[in-house]
């Protein structure tokens, strides 16, 4: 059986894919039609079970296979909150030390990475209900607040307060409207 926390995280992710009907048939339908959801389920399992557990070993082998096939590099150890949502499958990189809050949307081409030197050495902590657009880069030991929208092609290496909209390279806060209207099917 799945550990309870892992099962609840997978259920919350399924809700974000617009499926409040959590039947086994509905789960299997989404699982086989959406490679990004399949990857996410596998990531949750591989993060939950140790290498020594038979399921942990199987999911790690499967994880590396899926990772290579779809170009997703969400490293084991990355903490993904409830209701995590990958809008499209494709290249995404999330560092193993990144912490991502509840109801976050990540689009293809996003990098959430580590800085290896200087005052921002480390990985980001991202709040709840954050929307990160295609090909955005978020790096360093920074804090992204709640309800933040990071536009496509934006580079962020600084702390971002709650309810901000960040645009450009280098990133610049342009409004305080946040991600309202961008996060659908929220997990409560």
d(CA 119, CA 149): 24
Mean pLDDT of 53-60: 82
Domain end point (choices 54, 70, 86): 70
d(CA 6, CA 23): 17
Please report, for the domain that includes residue 123, its CATH number. Answer: 2.160.10.10
In a domain, 188, yes or no: no
Q: Give the pLDDT band (50/70/90) at residue 93.
A: very high
In a domain, 109, yes or no: yes
Query: Can you give the pTM of this predicted structure?
Result: 0.91
Are 45 and 61 contacting, i.e. CB atoms less than 8 angstroms apart? no
d(CA 188, CA 89): 25
134 with 150, same domain: the answer is yes
pLDDT at 2: 56
CA dihedral 15, 20, 23, 26 (to 10 degrees): -70
The pair of structure tokens assigned to 95 is: 């560092």
pLDDT at 53: 79
pLDDT at 82: 96
Top pLDDT among 50 and 47 is at 47
Range of the domain at 87: 72-183
d(CA 101, CA 146): 8
Looking at the DSSP bridge assignments, the partners of residue 143 are 125
In the predicted model, what is the mean pLDDT of the chain?
91
d(CA 15, CA 17): 5
The model's pLDDT over 116-142, given as tens digits with 9 standing for 90+, comes to 999 999 999 999 999 999 999 999 999
d(CA 8, CA 163): 27
């Amino acid at each position: 059986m799945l550990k309870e926390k892992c099962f609840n995280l997978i259920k919350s992710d399924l809700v974000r894919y617009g499926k409040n009907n959590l039947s086994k048939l509905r789960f299997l339908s989404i699982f086989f039609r959406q490679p990004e959801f399949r990857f996410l389920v596998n990531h949750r399992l591989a993060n939950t079970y140790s290498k020594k557990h038979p399921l942990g070993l199987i999911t790690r082998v499967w994880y590396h296979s899926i990772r290579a096939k779809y170009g997703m590099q969400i490293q084991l150890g990355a903490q993904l909150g409830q209701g995590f949502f990958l809008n499209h499958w494709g290249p995404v990189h999330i560092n193993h030390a990144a912490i991502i809050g509840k109801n976050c949307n990540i689009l293809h081409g996003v990098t959430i990475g580590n800085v290896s030197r200087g005052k921002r050495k480390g990985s980001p902590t991202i709040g709840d209900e954050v929307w990160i657009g295609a090909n955005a880069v978020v790096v360093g030991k920074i804090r992204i607040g709640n309800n933040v929208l990071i536009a496509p092609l934006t580079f962020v290496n600084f702390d971002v307060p709650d309810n901000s909209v960040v645009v450009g390279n280098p990133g610049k806060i342009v409004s305080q409207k946040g991600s309202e209207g961008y996060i659908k099917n929220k997990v409560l």
